[in-house]
Amino acid sequence: MHVYDTLFIGGKFVPPASTETVDIISSSTEEVIGRIPATTTDDIDAAVAAARSAFDDPTGWSTWEPARRAEVLDRLADEIEARVEELTPLVAQQNGMPITLAHQLESALPAGIYRYYAELARTTEFEEVRPGVLGGRAVVRHLPVGVVGMVIPWNYPNLICATKMGPALAAGCTVVMKQSIETSLDSYIMAEAIQAAGVPDGVINFVPGGGATGAHLVAHSDIDKVSFTGSTAVGQEIGTKCGELMRPVTLELGGKSAGIVLDDADLAASVENLFVATLVNNGQTCVLSSRVLAPRSRYDEVVETLAGLFSSVKVGDALDPETQVGPVVSKRQLDRIRGYIAKGIEEGGRVVVGGADRPEGLDKGWFVQPTLFADVEPDSTIAQEEIFGPVVLVMPYDDIDDAVRIANGTKYGLAATIWTSDEEKGRELSRRIEAGTVGINHFMTEPVAPFGGMKASGLGRELGPEGLASCQHLQTVYLPPAS
Ligand code: NAD
């Protein structure tokens, strides 16, 4: 049992404003595995005050040479890696992520992102002098945007944390991070890593909590920028609030991505990558190709290949190293996903593998069978709405124009995959797809390149140098001609 009675604010573990607590449940066993304080708006105020004061310190973090901040980021990466055995089982227990995946995506990749931004801080120009057209000069500065309020979901708590904090810290910003309650226990291990890395007090503050505390943070008068990852519905609310306040905002939202199988795809060679692209993290991944589009001539073969894959994956306790698909995060998510499966059947879809019943032999835990639908219409509910569970559908297309039309035919534009033996053909087709990221024959988010969505999948970009730029303000200083 992991019981925490403090919050990480101002570089210290401090008592919360309220004595109320929240239980944290294992999604594999439904047992209570931890307890944390129920964060209130008073805690958010304290966290914002600490971040504000750290940012405004005239000799503090935001004024340091970028290379000095980079040293801290490198140490943070080391401290995360040193805690992999504490961190990753907590993530796996809370949100159901298979432990082997948690090692890779909740420890190694976050550490890699902090190191990437450390290197970028060392090698990027934060100030340059440009000769003017009439003989004057312009100094162009990339200043830290200020105190960033961050709100994140439960599906990849440390990866999303790194995606947001890496560039913000490299830029010289300070942070108030509101994690989801569902995955809050691991944030205490991260806070210990932050202390051990020597991050100055107040630069990073953690206030795991619910929607009301998130809304308070987003609208707080001492926040300079908001960075949100979560559902489109909440993103729209936050975007509206930030518009009202004229506050910069990055929104990473939902998706309903297409996986387009071309007529020359080598399906047999793609099975492992198809698993990652359609089911990774039990379907709780925003970028998944949850709508697979197959040429009519190969439709049955694609359905059969995916059916073989879905019926062979090992479903089980997230802590078991053999598990490929764990439970979903909560009872609420389980009910939601089952509701979509029922809706898919009601609207005429054919369940090829899986269904709404519990997987055999798993009497406890929020498990959903990996479920494959065929014969689904592109405008049906399960082909249009994000399910966020291990539910995938296959739809036929007539020709490439038809595939593009179906792929682009939802409100979302987060990601896509293309499966082909001809990489050049895949790259050409990717231009026609309304998606912020496209994977050819695989999908793996790459920290060096921008990530984000088009249409209802979001605004702005994270990762890459573009992610650093999104944490900076530009200031120009005009100088007279040099004498
Ligand atoms: P959610 O929108 O319900 O919650 C996300 C976060 O927002 C949580 O921390 C929650 O407490 C907080 N929140 C809820 N209401 C709020 C409000 N009114 N104001 C401020 N904060 C509020 O999403 P979720 O169910 O936690 O996560 C799943 C969603 O996240 C899916 O839609 C998924 O596609 C999306 N997601 C997107 C990306 C991406 O990079 N595009 C990555 C991961 C997840």
Give the residue carrying structure tokens 């129920």.
38
- With a 6 Å cutoff on the Cβ, whether 11 touches ligand 1 is no
CA–CA separation, 445 and 430 (whole Å): 16
Q: Which atom of ligand 1 is nearest to the CA of 153?
A: 26
Tell me the percentage of the chain whose pLDDT exceeds 90.
Answer: 99
Rg of the chain over Cα atoms, rounded to whole angstroms, equals 23
Would you name the residues annotated as active-site residues? 252
Q: Which atom of ligand 1 is nearest to the CA of 182?
A: 26
- With a 6 Å cutoff on the Cβ, whether 231 touches ligand 1 is yes
Looking at the predicted structure, is the pLDDT value of residue 177 above 90? yes
- With a 6 Å cutoff on the Cβ, whether 95 touches ligand 1 is no
Distance of CA 480 from the midpoint of ligand 1 (Å):
49
Q: pLDDT digits over 86-114, tens only?
A: 999 999 999 999 999 999 999 999 999 99
Q: pLDDT digits over 35-47, tens only?
A: 999 999 999 999 9
Whole-number pLDDT of residue 25: 97
Nearest CA to ligand 1 atom 13: 211
Q: What separation in angstroms does the CA of 401 have from each of 114, 445, 483?
A: 41, 27, 62
Q: pLDDT digits over 294-353, tens only?
A: 999 999 999 999 999 999 999 999 999 999 999 999 999 999 999 999 999 999 999 999
Nearest CA to ligand 1 atom 40: 252
Q: pLDDT digits over 360-394, tens only?
A: 999 999 999 999 999 999 999 999 999 999 999 99
Mutate to test the pocket of ligand 1, among 27, 36, 151 (most ligand atoms within 8 A of CB): 151
Q: pLDDT digits over 248-268, tens only?
A: 999 999 999 999 999 999 999
Amino acid at 335: D
Domain ranges of the chain: 2-253+457-477, 258-446
Whole-number pLDDT of residue 60: 98
Architecture of domain 2-253+457-477 in CATH? 3-Layer(aba) Sandwich (3.40)
- With a 6 Å cutoff on the Cβ, whether 223 touches ligand 1 is no
| Secondary structure of the chain in HEC code, one letter for each residue | CEECCCEEECCEEECCCCCCEEEEECCCCCCEEEEEECCCHHHHHHHHHHHHHHHHCCCCHHHCCHHHHHHHHHHHHHHHHHCHHHHHHHHHHHHCCCHHHHHHHHHHHHHHHHHHHHHHHHHCCCEEEEECCCCCEEEEEEEECCEEEEECCCCCHHHHHHHHHHHHHHHCCEEEEECEHHHCHHHHHHHHHHHHCCCCCCCEEECCECHHHHHHHHCCCCCCEEEEECCHHHHHHHHHHHHHHCCCEEEECCCCCEEEECCCCCHHHHHHHHHHHHHHHHHCCCCCCCEEEEEHHHHHHHHHHHHHHHHHCCECCCCCCCCCECCCCCHHHHHHHHHHHHHHHHCCCEEEECCCCCCCCCCCCCCCCCEEEECCCCCCHHHHCCCCCCEEEEEEECCHHHHHHHHCCCCEECEEEEECCCHHHHHHHHCCCCCCEEEECCCCCCCCCCECCEECCEECCECHHHHHHCCEEEEEEEECCCC
Phi, psi (rounded to 5 degrees) for 245: -90, 0
Q: How confident is the model at residue 356 (pLDDT cuts 50, 70, 90)?
A: very high
Looking at the predicted structure, is the pLDDT value of residue 280 above 90? yes
- With a 6 Å cutoff on the Cβ, whether 414 touches ligand 1 is yes
Residue 243 CB-density burial (10 A; 0-12 exposed, 13-18 middle, 19+ buried): exposed
Bridge partner list, 22: 36
Nearest CA to ligand 1 atom 21: 214
- With a 6 Å cutoff on the Cβ, whether 208 touches ligand 1 is no
Architecture of domain 258-446 in CATH? 3-Layer(aba) Sandwich (3.40)
CA–CA separation, 474 and 479 (whole Å): 16
- Please report, in angstroms and rounded to a whole number, the separation of the first and last CA atoms in the chain: 70
Average pLDDT in the chain: 97
CA–CA separation, 258 and 418 (whole Å): 8
- With a 6 Å cutoff on the Cβ, whether 229 touches ligand 1 is yes
- With a 6 Å cutoff on the Cβ, whether 315 touches ligand 1 is no
- With a 6 Å cutoff on the Cβ, whether 90 touches ligand 1 is no
Q: How confident is the model at residue 482 (pLDDT cuts 50, 70, 90)?
A: confident
CA–CA separation, 124 and 480 (whole Å): 26
CA–CA separation, 445 and 87 (whole Å): 21
Looking at the predicted structure, is the pLDDT value of residue 483 above 90? no
In sign, the C-alpha dihedral spanning 289, 340, 335, 238 is positive
Phi, psi (rounded to 5 degrees) for 482: -65, 135
Q: Which atom of ligand 1 is nearest to the CA of 218?
A: 20
Q: Which atom of ligand 1 is nearest to the CA of 386?
A: 32
Distance of CA 142 from the midpoint of ligand 1 (Å):
29
Distance of CA 250 from the midpoint of ligand 1 (Å):
13
Polymer length of the chain? 483
Q: Which atom of ligand 1 is nearest to the CA of 457?
A: 41
CA–CA separation, 144 and 451 (whole Å): 20
